[in-house]
Structure 1
Amino acid sequence: MKSLFNISKWSPPRILVTGFALIILTGALLLSMPFASQTGTRLRFVDALFTATSATCVTGLVVVDTGSYFSIAGQLIIMTLIQIGGLGFMTMATLFAIVIRKRISLRERLILQEAMNQTSMEGIVRLIRKVIFYSLAIELIGATLFSIRWSFDMPLGQAIYFGVFHAVSLFNNAGFDLFGRFGVPFVSLTGYVSDPVINITAMLLIILGGLGFIVMSDLMEFRKNKRLSLHSKVVLSMTAALIAVGTIVIFIFEFSNKDTLGQLNLGGKVLAAFFQSVTPRTAGANTLDIPSLRQATQFFTIILMFIGASPGSTGGGIKTTTFTTLIGAVIAMIRGKEDIVLFNFRLARERIFKALTITLLSLALVVLVTMVLSTTEDKAFIKILFETTSAFGTVGLTLGITPELSAIGKIIISLTMFCGRLGPLTLAYALGPRAEKELYRHPEGKIIIG
């Protein structure tokens, strides 16, 4: 019990969980203040907590429309929470330490290692510097492109503000938008379904944010090193495969749907299908009306949301590398091989066990939350499953039930977003007892599988 209150003895996962929780509570208190709303009225604390959780966990599910409900101050609070949540509060703390020239201690490096999902502390501070530089540079370029495009639709000052907000939101895979201020709430980017500048800029921000900072660092240094790590190869190949397959499947399923792709020309159909394949990578923005998608497309989107982005990124889900490991295990078993081999490298057994553990814990969480919400909410099962998976994958796509959730439903979804952002394994490490080395091994036994 003493170690519970002795922060100096806390494990890195416990510090990460506590840090994110404190940021969410602070954000909720600020968003519940009168100055955060356009009308000067207080937002119910449960709704403020939901919004702060969604922003900090870079999800994008909202119970009130961001653009029409929140004041400029409220929107800036949300954008700050998105930036802190996307990069990680330890990354932001490291930035502050670098600015004031404070030395990064060994313990802080251990926490950074856990936050960035790294296997070693070597070069962790250098990686953090790259993370900050790449993130701000990409957001600046995205904001500039958005601002130029939107300057044709709105005053320049507003276009710049919209550009910065949406660049931060999309790069961090958050999915918050401000277009509800123009009269129709919860519209996201549906008004720009055929706009190539908005679509391509948004997709690049989403993809770059979802690749992970290790991969971005590898890509930036490729000209010098002339090689990519195994991690980067796996992430890039699986990301490309998921986007390509997703585009084809959505294009086929929605081709004749008059409420989605059916009303667009061929170029618009391809662009919209491409965008809708990219956004389940935990981005949450959409150019098609999600409730109007066919149920087959909605279920396929659930699968993409569950897989999510890549490790060390701003996204959630079980991660592309975990999914690749599972696919590799299936292929190895079918071919009668003992090892999973990717790009001529054999994966260690501990990696396979970790992938299985993450997947089963994640699946158990989604199933449990779906079952509970099916009891507390009077909604169709597909809508509840979609909402739950979106929250777990920190995606932000919805079939329209978020504002209609009961108070208990909002709390459950908030907890799901929290678990999804930190990862079920990190939470298990944080809340569980400290692992002790086993002094003996049990004799091997055999059971029949399959």
Structure 2
Amino acid sequence: MDVLKYGRSLSPAQIIVYSFALFILAGTALLMLPAATVDGAGATFTDALFTIVSAVCVTGLSVQDTGTYWTFFGQAVILFAIQVGGLGVVTAAISLTVFSGRKIGLMQRNTMQEALAAPQLKGIVQLVLFILKYVAIIELVGTLLLYTVFAPQYGWVTGWWYAMFHAISAFCNAGFDIMGPAGGGSLTTYEFNPVVNTVIMLLIIIGGLGFMTWADVRTHGFHIRAYRLQSKIILIMTAVLIIVPTLIFYATEFGQNHDTMYLFPAMFQAVTTRTAGFNSVDLMTLSESNRAILILLMLVGGAPGSTAGGIKTTTAFALLASVWAMMRRSSDISCFGRRISEDTLHKATVLFMMYLLLIIFSTIFISALDDFSILDSCFETVSAIATVGLSIGITDQLSTLSKYILIFLMFFGRVGALTFVFAVHSKFDGTRSHYVKEDVVIG
């Protein structure tokens, strides 16, 4: 009775955080089994924890090569964790309740609303069913298309496993691959393959748009004017953050011989930072300036309520819009005929500062502890907190303490900064007294 009473007293934010934590512990135990590793010894606690956190938090950073270190059982555990983590542990669990025919209570609906970043409680169960249906369809189509490439190369059975693994990993913006280290790892051997590049990029983009954007597309089709403000912002930011970096990468890195085929690697690097973690080229060959651009793109990430991480496109837009409004000496932050509330801007500012402070301190600590450059340490740190998974090859060289820092950053980035804070400070007394307001000169 006390346990049930305690469970009912949890806030939606606490349920989300605890659900992720419990799922991670279960996955860690499975990866430590002898059947999970090729050598039959099982993974160490740190390696198992790091891998399962990276999978559940759909990041993709690895301390062991996924294709050669883990057995089929180990890879299956990782893939299941990716799928559940992409949907959200709470969404996946409640989906089982829906299919079992059991009634969904108000607390469960509130938790689903928080997990999906849905604007209202009404219709939340129908939204979950819609998400599950289209996730299954999109991942199946992606698997079939990739199968046309992988089957002739790896055989019918292994080719299907490869196709399904990478389709789910791409849609969930996880970035895990089972290609092995040959040829530079990840998808570097398919740098110019039109099918693999196009399918993986589309899966990443669709997964990163967010479930509520899907709902707008389903309801209004191509009548974009009828979309909610959030969906418009997401679509505009997504287009800009793909097109502009693609042109920059092509002009400065890949297009020296003016071959249009090099648009594939240029666009792939722009898309994968949204936050998928695949790479079709060796990132160490990129210039420092372009690696810095990758860091900025990783930090922004995808849409709220999506499989992607980062501070989110809406947060970046709100901050940029506030800067533009300040430059125009306007008190209103508006776009598409709508005004962004001060509360939204306040949350965006707090979230950005939390990410920034964690990135700064973690980067400095890892750089000092493991003697890597600030840029390399920052790349790994941002990749972890933004749940991207891109790496310049130093993850497996980090000390144990640095690995645990990345584990925390991945967990923090997946559950979300605000959700994490609300879970820690779940109670708010709106009747508290307030101090007298006094202005402070800024700038």
TM bucket normalised to smaller: over 0.9
CA–CA separation in structure 2 for the residues paired with 1:36 and 1:442:
57
Deviation at residue 184 of structure 1 after TM alignment: 2.0
Q: Which residue of 1 aligns with 2:202?
A: 204
Q: Which residue of 428, 431, 441 maps to 1:438?
A: 431
Change (3 A) 1:327 1:224: closer
- Name the stretch that deviates more: 45-54 or 129-138: 129-138
Deviation at residue 186 of structure 1 after TM alignment: 6.0
Gapped regions of structure 2 (runs ≥ 5): none
Conserved? CA contact 1:361–1:425, under 8 Å: no
Change (3 A) 1:14 1:174: same
Deviation at residue 221 of structure 1 after TM alignment: 2.4
* Pairing of 1:412-423 with structure 2 (within 5 A): 412-423=405-416
Conserved? CA contact 1:250–1:273, under 8 Å: yes
Q: Which residue of 2 aligns with 1:272?
A: 265
- Name the stretch that deviates more: 424-433 or 286-295: 424-433
CA–CA separation in structure 2 for the residues paired with 1:287 and 1:318:
24
Deviations 1:14-71 (A, max 9, x none): 1111110111111111111110012212211100100000000000000000011110
CA–CA separation in structure 1 for the residues paired with 2:332 and 2:90:
36
Verify: 1:50 aligned to 2:50, yes or no. yes
Conserved? CA contact 1:68–1:185, under 8 Å: no
Change (3 A) 1:7 1:375: farther
Q: CA RMSD in A?
A: 1.8
Q: Which residue of 309, 333, 350 maps to 1:357?
A: 350
Q: Which residue of 2 aligns with 1:243?
A: 242
Deviation at residue 281 of structure 1 after TM alignment: 0.5
3-state SS in 1 of match to 2:182: coil
Q: Which residue of 2 aligns with 1:427?
A: 420
- Name the stretch that deviates more: 136-145 or 89-98: 89-98
Q: Which amino acid aligns with 1:86?
A: G
Q: Which amino acid aligns with 1:218?
A: D
Deviation at residue 93 of structure 1 after TM alignment: 1.4
3-state SS in 1 of match to 2:152: coil
3-state SS in 2 of match to 1:152: helix
Change (3 A) 1:224 1:125: farther
CA–CA separation in structure 1 for the residues paired with 2:100 and 2:334:
45
Q: Which residue of 2 aligns with 1:287?
A: 280
Q: Which amino acid aligns with 2:210?
A: G
CA–CA separation in structure 2 for the residues paired with 1:410 and 1:186:
22
3-state SS in 2 of match to 1:91: helix
* Pairing of 1:31-180 with structure 2 (within 5 A): 31-180=31-180
Q: Which residue of 376, 390, 405 maps to 2:398?
A: 405
Change (3 A) 1:296 1:80: same
Conserved? CA contact 2:11–2:426, under 8 Å: no
Q: Which residue of 1 aligns with 2:331?
A: 338
- Name the stretch that deviates more: 414-423 or 145-154: 145-154
Conserved? CA contact 1:65–1:186, under 8 Å: no
CA–CA separation in structure 2 for the residues paired with 1:445 and 1:252:
50
Change (3 A) 1:104 1:198: same
Q: Which residue of 2 aligns with 1:323?
A: 316
CA–CA separation in structure 1 for the residues paired with 2:233 and 2:176:
29
Deviation at residue 124 of structure 1 after TM alignment: 1.2
Conserved? CA contact 2:249–2:290, under 8 Å: yes
Q: Which amino acid aligns with 1:210?
A: G
CA–CA separation in structure 2 for the residues paired with 1:8 and 1:369:
36
Deviation at residue 313 of structure 1 after TM alignment: 0.2
Deviation at residue 434 of structure 1 after TM alignment: 1.1
Deviations 1:245-282 (A, max 9, x none): 11112122213xxxxx66x7612211110010000001
Deviations 1:95-152 (A, max 9, x none): 2112111111000011111111234212211111111111111100000000112122
* Pairing of 1:15-26 with structure 2 (within 5 A): 15-26=15-26
Deviations 1:292-339 (A, max 9, x none): 111001011000000011000001100000000011101111111111
Q: Which amino acid aligns with 1:359?
A: F
Deviations 1:207-254 (A, max 9, x none): 000000110121122239772111111100010001111111212221
Verify: 1:234 aligned to 2:233, yes or no. yes
Q: Which residue of 376, 380, 385 maps to 1:387?
A: 380
Gapped regions of structure 1 (runs ≥ 5): 256-260
Verify: 1:307 aligned to 2:300, yes or no. yes
Verify: 1:194 aligned to 2:187, yes or no. no
CA–CA separation in structure 1 for the residues paired with 2:360 and 2:4:
30
Q: Which amino acid aligns with 2:337?
A: N
Conserved? CA contact 1:170–1:205, under 8 Å: yes
Verify: 1:219 aligned to 2:217, yes or no. yes
Deviation at residue 439 of structure 1 after TM alignment: 4.1
Conserved? CA contact 1:193–1:268, under 8 Å: no
Change (3 A) 1:79 1:46: same
Conserved? CA contact 1:4–1:10, under 8 Å: no
Deviation at residue 94 of structure 1 after TM alignment: 2.1
Deviation at residue 7 of structure 1 after TM alignment: 2.2
3-state SS in 2 of match to 1:356: helix
TM-score of the aligned structures, taking structure 2 as reference length: 0.96
CA–CA separation in structure 1 for the residues paired with 2:5 and 2:269:
46
CA–CA separation in structure 2 for the residues paired with 1:153 and 1:265:
30
Q: Which amino acid aligns with 1:189?
A: L
CA–CA separation in structure 2 for the residues paired with 1:347 and 1:13:
24
Deviation at residue 288 of structure 1 after TM alignment: 1.0
3-state SS in 2 of match to 1:102: coil
Conserved? CA contact 2:364–2:374, under 8 Å: no
Q: Which residue of 2 aligns with 1:258?
A: none
- Name the stretch that deviates more: 291-300 or 264-273: 264-273
CA–CA separation in structure 2 for the residues paired with 1:232 and 1:199:
26
3-state SS in 2 of match to 1:312: coil
Q: Which residue of 2 aligns with 1:254?
A: 253
Conserved? CA contact 1:12–1:110, under 8 Å: yes
CA–CA separation in structure 2 for the residues paired with 1:123 and 1:185:
48
Q: Which amino acid aligns with 2:253?
A: E
Deviation at residue 375 of structure 1 after TM alignment: 2.5
CA–CA separation in structure 2 for the residues paired with 1:240 and 1:204:
13
